[in-house]
Structure 1
Amino acid sequence: MTTPAPPDEPLICSARGCRAPAIWELRWNNPRLHPPERRKTWLACATHRGSLGDFLDARGFLREVVPVPGSPTLQG
């Protein structure tokens, strides 16, 4: 589970060893353990969005992917 960053620090990607700023929230749950409305969150940089998403999706855990609030992904 990702620990929230203090407000003045950027959110960091959840991929092991990555220190890049996160621009995506991968919201997921394990249906065998969590009620349907519960969402856990992994954070991802542009490089790891695919691999983290694929890992969760292969297990049937991935529910949605949304931009991190304030990320450049939200800018058109």
Structure 2
Amino acid sequence: MTDLVCSRAGCRSAATKHVVWRNPRIHAADREKVWLACDEHVGFLRDYLAARDFPVSVRDGVPA
């Protein structure tokens, strides 16, 4: 099994959450993209996407 790491540039910490988002200008409503996040960077990644007016949610755990 591969260890899942945070999507934040330069971070190699284990992912504990997934940040689910989509760009409504190019993605259909049923399309979801997922970034993995460690506890330290989950807020940064969520805020980065929200600042661009992308629908975003944070879910515990990481996708299988």
Normalised by the length of structure 2, the TM-score is 0.89
Aligned to 1:35: 28
Alignment correspondent of 2:59: 66
Aligned length: 63
- CA RMSD of the aligned region, Å? 1.5
Task: Detail structure 1 runs of 4+ shifted over 6 Å in the superposition.
Answer: none
Greater RCO (Cα-Cα under 8 Å, separation 6 or more): 2
Q: Which runs of 5+ in 1 are unaligned?
A: 1-7, 71-76
Percent identity between the aligned chains? 43
* Local SS of the residue matching 2:26: coil
Structure 2 regions of 5+ residues with no counterpart? none
Q: Deviations over 1:6-26 (max 9, x none)?
A: xx1221000001000000100
